Amino acid sequence: MNFKKTLTTALLLLLLASSGCAYRHYLGMHGPSINNSPDIHLDAKNDEQCLQCHNPETPTDAPPTNHPRFKGCLKCHGPEAPGYKE
């Protein structure tokens, strides 16, 4: 009985942890932060500027985002993001 409860709890936690962008970032499956290319991103101050280059419908050399309608690019990839280096 205790094993089933532990297994169920572990599976639920795994499901919750794997349902967002953060886990993919740590596994290397999510896009890198803008601090990997700071010279290109000097003028990036808002999400609209990010999406001008990274929108899948925009023909640029920038890698497209898989969530173009999501707002919060700089929250995850900008100076406020954990691990950002100047």
Q: Is 21 helix (H, G, I), strand (E, B) or coil?
A: helix
pTM above the 0.95 mark?
A: no
The residue ranges of every structural domain in the chain are 1-30, 31-86
pLDDT in single tens digits along all 86 residues of the chain: 699 999 999 998 887 776 666 656 666 556 667 777 888 888 888 888 888 888 888 878 888 887 778 777 877 777 776 656 66
Query: CA 67, CA 86: separation in Å to the nearest integer?
Result: 26
